[in-house]
């Protein structure tokens, strides 16, 4: 991935967790409905994630996270590149980012996926482009494509590419995905024209802060999970899942809800039994730590017909506790 584009994406996602700048968010004159930007995402998307960065920042939970991440950043010796980017461009992610949309597209012929993100906010595009050119070890290629300029690495076509769609919107991701986004601006067809994804979007009850959907019915996502990365004992059961939606309701705490839809009630029950088995095993592994057990007890799993729901409440101390217990939780094999 190109460094500058990767920084922009990852730091923007970091901001979506609730980080805020002490100078406060800037006003952004144009507030676009969620569906307007969803229409930019490829019709063939199988995964969508949305985060309203500024709405998260205005909640007590988001503000408490901001303080935590600010403390971490002060002691992090690995964020020198972020500091250089911020100083050169004047772009402060947590202040200048408004919303983020992420899309993933499965490719049947290769069992791989491509994807990217659309970030809306306030940018000095020329400074960001100049920084990308200045900091690269290899030249940054510019390609004119359908009225837009795409930037990517000269040496590796698999690098993350990026393009400013407007003065307040940047798209960054795989080159194939990015070109699809640009094409669809003219065709007018996007993921909202995908009946399955539209049905899943309409099934998300809370869209204000953070939500996502995955269409898993064709099995390509779970097949990829089994073939790549660390082995996961539950991957075979995951292949029985047809779709997944998740969302967060945020105030003093964040309530994270994940809902899986299966082909039958029996498959939902089997998957719930597997999750409860993992949970029981984890509690045995940390049986000498009441606080860790309480964290695990806070994960609630239930079924309703062919549906499964997992709910957990995350308070402002959750991430500090998780970091403290990491050594114990890392021993748990899933």
Task: Check residue 245 and give its pLDDT.
Answer: 96
Task: Check residue 185 and give its pLDDT.
Answer: 81
Given pLDDT bands bounded at 50, 70 and 90, which one contains residue 23?
very low
**Whether the Cβ atoms of residue 16 and residue 254 lie closer than 8 Å to each other:** no
Cβ atoms < 10 Å from Cβ of 11: 20
How far, CA to CA in Å, does 140 sit from each of 93, 154, 181? 23, 6, 21
Task: Check residue 73 and give its pLDDT.
Answer: 58
Short-list 50, 69, 176, 35, CA closest to 119: 50
Short-list 200, 179, 150, CA closest to 49: 200
Task: Check residue 268 and give its pLDDT.
Answer: 93
pTM comes to 0.81
Structure-block tokens of residue 126:
């020329």
Which of the two residues, 108 and 285, has the higher pLDDT score?
285
Q: Is the pLDDT of residue 195 over 60?
A: yes
| Mean pLDDT along residues 113-134 | 87
| Mean pLDDT along residues 107-133 | 80
Task: Check residue 48 and give its pLDDT.
Answer: 94
| Mean pLDDT along residues 231-244 | 71
Which neighbouring-strand residues pair with 310? Answer: 258, 301
Q: Is the pLDDT of residue 78 over 80?
A: no
Given pLDDT bands bounded at 50, 70 and 90, which one contains residue 305?
very high
Task: Check residue 28 and give its pLDDT.
Answer: 33
- DSSP state for residue 298 in the 8-state scheme: T
Helix (H, G, I), strand (E, B) or coil at 117: strand
| Mean pLDDT along residues 306-333 | 80
Task: Check residue 194 and give its pLDDT.
Answer: 92
DSSP 3-state percent helix, strand, coil across the chain (nearest 5)? 45, 25, 30
Task: Check residue 331 and give its pLDDT.
Answer: 63
Q: Is the pLDDT of residue 141 over 90?
A: no
Interacting residues of 103 by C-beta distance below 8 A, sequence separation 6+: 41, 42, 45, 47, 48, 115, 116, 117, 118, 173, 177, 191
Given pLDDT bands bounded at 50, 70 and 90, which one contains residue 22?
very low
Task: Check residue 92 and give its pLDDT.
Answer: 78
Interacting residues of 263 by C-beta distance below 8 A, sequence separation 6+: 240, 242, 306
Which of the two residues, 220 and 46, has the higher pLDDT score?
46
Helix (H, G, I), strand (E, B) or coil at 299: strand
Task: Check residue 7 and give its pLDDT.
Answer: 43
Given pLDDT bands bounded at 50, 70 and 90, which one contains residue 21?
very low
Helix (H, G, I), strand (E, B) or coil at 321: helix
Distance of CA 316 to the CA centre of its chain: 20
Task: Check residue 272 and give its pLDDT.
Answer: 93
What whole-number distance in Å separates Cα of residue 190 and Cα of residue 203? Answer: 18
Supply the Cα-derived Rg of the chain in whole angstroms. Answer: 21
**Whether the Cβ atoms of residue 19 and residue 69 lie closer than 8 Å to each other:** yes
User: Which residues of 108-233 form beta strands (DSSP E)?
Assistant: 112-121, 140-145, 148-153, 161-166, 169-173, 210-215
Which of the two residues, 38 and 108, has the higher pLDDT score?
38
Interacting residues of 22 by C-beta distance below 8 A, sequence separation 6+: none
What whole-number distance in Å separates Cα of residue 102 and Cα of residue 281? Answer: 34
| Mean pLDDT along residues 35-47 | 85
| Mean pLDDT along residues 175-204 | 89
Percent of the chain with pLDDT over 70: 72
Task: Check residue 178 and give its pLDDT.
Answer: 92
Task: Give me the phi and psi of 140, to 5 degrees please.
Answer: -95, 115
| Mean pLDDT along residues 167-177 | 90
Q: Is the pLDDT of residue 24 over 70?
A: no
Surface-to-core class of residue 119, CB atoms within 10 Å of its CB (0-12 exposed, 13-18 middle, 19+ buried): buried
């Amino acid at each position: 991935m190109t460094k500058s584009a990767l920084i922009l994406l990852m730091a923007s996602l970091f901001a979506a967790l609730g980080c805020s700048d002490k100078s406060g968010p800037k006003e952004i004159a144009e507030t676009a409905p969620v569906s307007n930007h969803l229409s930019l995402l490829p019709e063939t998307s199988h995964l969508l994630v949305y985060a309203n960065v500024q709405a998260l920042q205005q909640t007590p939970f988001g503000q408490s996270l901001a303080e935590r991440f600010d403390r971490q950043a002060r002691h992090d010796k690995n964020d020198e590149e972020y500091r250089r980017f911020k100083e050169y461009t004047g772009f402060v992610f947590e202040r200048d980012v408004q919303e983020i949309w992420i899309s993933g597209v499965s490719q049947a012929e290769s069992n791989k996926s491509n994807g990217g993100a659309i970030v809306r906010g306030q940018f000095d595009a020329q400074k960001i482009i100049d920084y990308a050119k200045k900091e690269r070890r290899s030249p940054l290629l510019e390609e004119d494509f359908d009225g837009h300029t795409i930037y990517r690495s000269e040496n590796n076509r698999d690098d993350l590419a990026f393009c400013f769609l407007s003065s307040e919107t940047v798209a960054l991701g795989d080159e194939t995905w990015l070109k699809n986004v640009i094409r669809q601006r003219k065709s007018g067809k996007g993921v909202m024209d995908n009946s399955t994804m539209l049905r899943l979007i309409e099934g998300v009850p809370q869209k204000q802060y953070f939500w996502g959907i995955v269409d898993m019915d064709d099995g390509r996502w779970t097949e990829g999970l089994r073939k790549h990365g660390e082995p996961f004992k539950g991957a075979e059961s995951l292949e029985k899942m047809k779709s997944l939606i998740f969302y967060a309701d945020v105030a003093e705490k964040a309530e994270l809800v994940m809902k899986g839809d299966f082909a039958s009630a029996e498959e939902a029950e089997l998957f719930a039994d597997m999750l409860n088995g993992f949970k029981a095993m984890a509690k045995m592994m940390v049986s000498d730590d009441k606080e860790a057990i309480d964290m695990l007890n806070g994960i609630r799993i239930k079924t309703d017909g062919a549906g499964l729901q997992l709910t957990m409440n995350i308070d402002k101390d959750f991430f500090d506790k998780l970091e403290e217990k990491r050594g114990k939780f890392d021993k748990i094999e899933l």
